[in-house]
Amino acid sequence: MVKKILVGVIGFIVILAVSIPTIIYFTGDKQLSLVSSFNIGDLSATSGIVTDGKYVYIADARDGLLIIDISNPNEPILTGYYNSSLAESVTVNDGIAYIADAFDGLVVVNVTDPTAPTLLAELPLGNSRGVFLRESLLYVVDGTVPFKIFNISNPESPQVVGSLDISSWVDGLDIEGNYAYLATRQRGMVVVDIEDPTSLSIVGELSSEGDIVFSSVRRIKVEGDCAYLAASYSGLIILNISDPYHPTHISNYDVQYAYSVHISDNLVYLSADKEGLHVLDISDPSNLVLFDIYATEGVHDICTFDSLVYTHCETSLKIFKWDWSF
């Protein structure tokens, strides 16, 4: 169990003698402030968000792909949309959006003209949940069919180059080096060797440590030698992956429900659903510093660009900035 300590000190951190892992709650240094809130209606909790700094792309489980102009973050504008069935996740590169859709499978959309997105390809899979793009390879995880790797050199005709049965529902993934780190509901974190996309293999996994069980992992991010798991009712779980074959537990942070996680500049942004947005300093993953909690409607996903933080909430896109108090 992680201990939280309230330190109401301005300008410096007081170190207390406490058990490890420890969370120091540091207020007064900086805090999130709301820049704008853009209403986009009732959304499902199974949606994702990415940005290139000019547009925000939201995988909306109700309306498909939403494209919002955020060139003026004070006044976001809905620019265009593509209506897929049940969009779960999206990644965008060179004017092409790759959408994991729970009903339609892999959906590829040309967004070069954001006012008029057009379909390039649609590949029925099973229950597509997450996508990750690296160079010409697209990695897709699913709830009901094997983990797949596509060659998308021709976005109009993606070709399967590798496939692996994970024997678990998979919601998200991240990739570092020759390994894919999968967020699964039954097996916790699963590590797949992807060095040869045509010959994939599971090389490591971890779903518990002592009395801590984190089998239902929704999203995962890798930073350095650590994997950060948004593990539903188990909160935020931090694992050491310096040896991908034998991951070990470092620390955890308790929230009622952790849905998604994002990392930028040594900060973890954790969507804690109805508990809002939690931000923690991860300079030392075994001793977390809780910078801020922004209480807002259910937060489903987060992304950052430059100094701004974008959150996809139940009914809105919310944009934040950091305010310094000294």
| pLDDT given for residue 295 in this prediction | 83
Angle at 305 between CA 300 and CA 308, to 5 degrees: 75
CB atoms within 10 A of CB 316: 18
Spans of all domains in the chain: 44-165
Name the β-bridge partners of 229. Answer: 220, 237
User: Which amino acid is it at 231?
Assistant: A
Listed residue (272, 274, 275) closest to 261, CA to CA? 272
**How would you classify the pairing of strands 22-26 and 3-7?**
parallel
For the question of whether the overall pTM of this predicted structure is more than 0.85, the answer is yes
What are the average pLDDT values for consecutive 10-residue runs of the chain, which has 326 residues?
A: 37 34 47 90 70 94 91 96 92 96 94 97 91 97 90 97 93 96 94 97 92 86 97 94 97 91 94 88 93 84 93 89 68
| pLDDT given for residue 46 in this prediction | 55
Listed residue (195, 185, 180, 166) closest to 244, CA to CA? 180
**Pairwise CA distance, residues 239 & 117, whole Å:** 39
- Provide, for the chain, the percentages of residues in helix, strand and coil under a 3-state DSSP scheme, each rounded to the nearest 5: 0, 60, 40
Tokens describing residue 99: 């959408």
- Residue 87 near residue 47, CB atoms below 8 Å: yes
**44-165 maps to CATH 2.130.10.10:** yes
- Residue 325 near residue 10, CB atoms below 8 Å: yes
Tokens describing residue 140: 């897709």
Q: Cis bond leading into 21, ω under 30°?
A: yes
